[in-house]
Amino acid sequence: MGEGNPPMTVGQSAWGIALGSVLLASVLLTSGCSPESDATVDDLESLSIESSGLGSCTVSAEIEYNGARALVTALHCVGDNAYVDAPSLSARLPVIERFDAYDLALLQPLESIRLPSYPVAAFPASGVEACKVGTLVKNDCGPVVGPGEVDGTVVMMIDICSVPGDSGSAITWNGTLVGVEGGDVSYAPGFDENLPCNSVEQSRMNPLYSLGLPEAVIGSAP
């Protein structure tokens, strides 16, 4: 009778089963079967948006509003449309809230993107330095000046260049979002229409103004 492998003991059998279970679990964890493992999130500095009949604008901030993420832009970039187009994402972003007196609109974000997220605050006093993140003027800072008026609403001028396509850009101060770019001060009574902004390359353009944020947005922050 030829020699064969000795019979497996009870202990050896249990050890083999345990090892097989560990190997199987390892394969399952690395196989990519979980839907989350395929999910990718793109971090963006800014996003160009378009709305029917209104041209191009910018989204460069997200906030927490009523317990959920929301993208922030200027209301005149949205108008009465129910959504805006984000051509670079081949997607539409629904409009979830409008604040007419502040020229502010909130958009529903995609789960696949993240824009810079900010806490929110009231507009700072004149003399402090605020900054903007735009699509065309990427990053710029300048002193807050003002106030002036647009249709009876008090606005603040910031000595940063206003460029077509950058409406809706985030205006930040001390790490907080304090408003969005509404336009240039030629639209704001009380300011010099020919006042140049602080960028030599764009000295023929006007500084921007912002209407700040409504209490409904500031009060909804965590």
Q: What is the CATH number of the domain that holds 214?
A: 2.40.10.10
| Domain-terminating residue out of 63, 84, 114 | 114
| Amino acid at residue number 149 | E
- Classify residue 71: in a domain, yes or no: yes
The overall longest dimension of the chain from CA atoms, in Å, is: 109
- Classify residue 184: in a domain, yes or no: yes
What distance in Å separates the CA atoms of residue 114 and residue 41, rounded to the nearest whole number? 7
Which residue segment(s) compose the domain that 135 sits in? 129-218
What distance in Å separates the CA atoms of residue 154 and residue 183, rounded to the nearest whole number? 14
Q: Are 171 and 207 in contact (CB under 8 A)?
A: no
pLDDT by residue (tens digit) across 109-160? 999 999 999 999 998 888 889 999 888 888 888 888 776 666 666 678 888 8
pLDDT band at 161 (very low <50, low <70, confident <90, very high): confident
Same-domain pairing of 208 and 142:
yes
Q: What is the pLDDT of residue 155?
A: 77
- Classify residue 26: in a domain, yes or no: no
What is the domain count for the chain? Answer: 2
Q: Are 180 and 162 in contact (CB under 8 A)?
A: no
- Classify residue 6: in a domain, yes or no: no
| Amino acid at residue number 144 | V
Same-domain pairing of 70 and 137:
no
Mean pLDDT throughout 52-80?
Answer: 93
Same-domain pairing of 104 and 169:
no
| Domain-terminating residue out of 82, 114, 146 | 114
Same-domain pairing of 102 and 138:
no
Q: What is the pLDDT of residue 174?
A: 94
pLDDT band at 39 (very low <50, low <70, confident <90, very high): low
Task: Write down the mean pLDDT value for the chain.
Answer: 79
- Classify residue 8: in a domain, yes or no: no
Listed in sequence order, the residues at least 6 apart from 21 whose beta carbon sits closer than 8 Å to its beta carbon are none
- Classify residue 47: in a domain, yes or no: yes
| Amino acid at residue number 168 | G
| Domain-terminating residue out of 87, 114, 141 | 114
Same-domain pairing of 84 and 138:
no
Same-domain pairing of 105 and 136:
no
| Amino acid at residue number 146 | G
3-class DSSP state for residue 15?
helix
Same-domain pairing of 133 and 213:
yes
Same-domain pairing of 92 and 136:
no
Same-domain pairing of 212 and 160:
yes
What distance in Å separates the CA atoms of residue 215 and residue 222, rounded to the nearest whole number? 13
pLDDT band at 22 (very low <50, low <70, confident <90, very high): very low
Dihedrals phi, psi of 70, to nearest 5 degrees: -150, 140
pLDDT band at 26 (very low <50, low <70, confident <90, very high): very low
Same-domain pairing of 133 and 170:
yes
What pairs with residue 172 in β-bridges? Answer: 131, 177
